[in-house]
Chains A and B, each alone.
Chain A
Amino acid sequence: MTVLLRPGMALAALTMLAARPALAELQVRMPEVDYRELEFEHNGLVTFDAKGSSLNGAQSFTNSIGYGVLPWWEIELEGEMASGGGQHLTWNAVTMENTFQLTEPGEYFFNLGLFAEYSQSTLRGQPSGITAGPIIQKELNNVFGIDTLHTLNVLLDRDVGHNATSATGLQLAWQSVALFTPLFAPGFEYYGIVDNITHAGPTSQQQHLIGPVLTGAYNFSPYGKLKYEVGYLFGLTPASGRSAVRWKLEYEIAF
């Protein structure tokens, strides 16, 4: 029974704690690393709100390429684009993401991972950001005859560089899905974003969204695997907007 903790690597990532991302990205990160697999990933988010609101029609897209370098470390290079409602899309950041798998899936009560990213702003005068924190996952098999998967991300973020603020933000993400078949795993997810945890302000000024999600994967082995996620989120506070649609498409292949 070996704890697959890499204290040095985990500490290095934790020292990056503190920072705000260049872009709020709604996705739930998983703690497992796909060693020796090359992946291409696209994420999209469109928000809806009252007419005239900057959140109405706001869009955010990321495209990335990643690789499982070691059995416990995956690195990803990502480009981020975003726009407010009615505005043109702008290329606003290039991000390096790291996922560290800390435990063997299924060995302990929880599966644990650590996420750490550096996001370099490509916009003049805008700060870059660092985001890091734990990924906690629980597999619950045979819940009324169905296997289920529950994943929680607790990420802290902080600005760095030009015009950086001293605020530390919090990004929460939670996804629970029922694993009916590999291709069809529906569930729900929640996202919470607090810009400054030391001055969180009233709940109405924080972003909290919840809604159903459909996930799945199709294995074309040896030609790779296609994974998808599509979710509809309801804003729970005025700052969240009325609703949002998000999606994720990922292709991975052994390389």
Chain B
Amino acid sequence: MRLTLILLASLLAWPVAAADTPAASLTIRNRAFEPAELEVPAGQKIELHVRNADAAASEFESDELHREKVVPAGQEVVVFIGPLRAGRYEFFDDFNPVARGHIVAR
């Protein structure tokens, strides 16, 4: 058990999200993503801020980015994605799948 705790502590003390991680922002407003297409640098981890300006909860989800995260009404969450190869990656609102967009890594 002691070994497990030491291992856990060591791993948690090993942050790699450097301060210079590029950030990008998305807003959910009127049940749609703004912008619907977001360009990010390829080959780097991205700190994606998703803000929900609506009065109902949403869920940022992407099968291609392997991420899903609930965004409560009026709040902002951070989703870490990548490093991505150059290409287009679709995302959507799982609570309102009509709302869709793309991340374009260049």
Give A contacts to B, CB under 8 Å.
1, 3, 5, 14, 17-18, 34-36, 71, 102-110, 112, 133-134, 136, 139, 141-142, 145, 147, 149, 154, 156, 179, 182, 217, 219, 221-222, 254
Contacts and interface: CB of A to CB of B under 8 A. Distances in A.
A144 B15 CA distance: 25
A9 to B, nearest CB: 14
A110 B11 contact: yes
Interface of B: 1, 4-5, 7-8, 11-12, 14-17, 19, 43, 45, 57, 59, 61, 63-64, 66-70, 78-85, 92, 94-97
B12 A103 contact: yes
Contact of B14 (A104, A105, A110): A110
Determine chain A's interface SS by DSSP, over half rule. Answer: loop
A142 B87 CA distance: 13
A3 to B, nearest CB: 6
Contacts of B82: 106, 141
Contacts of B69: 35, 71
A2 to B, nearest CB: 9
A254 B11 contact: no
A181 B8 CA distance: 31
10 contacts: A35-B69, A104-B79, A109-B11, A109-B15, A110-B11, A133-B4, A134-B8, A182-B64, A254-B59, A254-B94
A227 to B, nearest CB: 11
A3 B14 CA distance: 11
B60 to A, nearest CB: 12
B1 A36 contact: no
B8 A112 contact: yes
